[in-house]
Structure 1
């Protein structure tokens, strides 16, 4: 994984989160822990499929 891409994505997400918070809009993301676990599940599933399919 390209570390710079991950850093840019994190910065972009932080900026977007701040904008949404400042405008008092609901965040376009699921609740924190379930959202992270869900994204992790998608990543793991895609890696498993890549190995076996």
Structure 2
């Protein structure tokens, strides 16, 4: 939980800095973009869970 809070705080600070310098936000501005990032993360995690199953087939 500590990592989540630190990541949220870091993102908040970076958002303030970018807004202060009037730079475009360094993240997807739409919900679809955020969903894509979540999908990439979930795909990475699922591969980590199922890859041992497939690796055992080829031994």
What TM-score range do you get, normalising by the shorter chain? 0.7 to 0.9
TM-score by length of 1: 0.83
Runs of 4+ residues deviating >3 angstroms = none
Kindly name which structure, 1 or 2, has the bigger radius of gyration based on alpha carbons. 2
Root mean square deviation, CA, Å: 1.1
Number of residue pairs matched by the alignment: 51
TM-score by length of 2: 0.76
Aligned to 2:43: 45
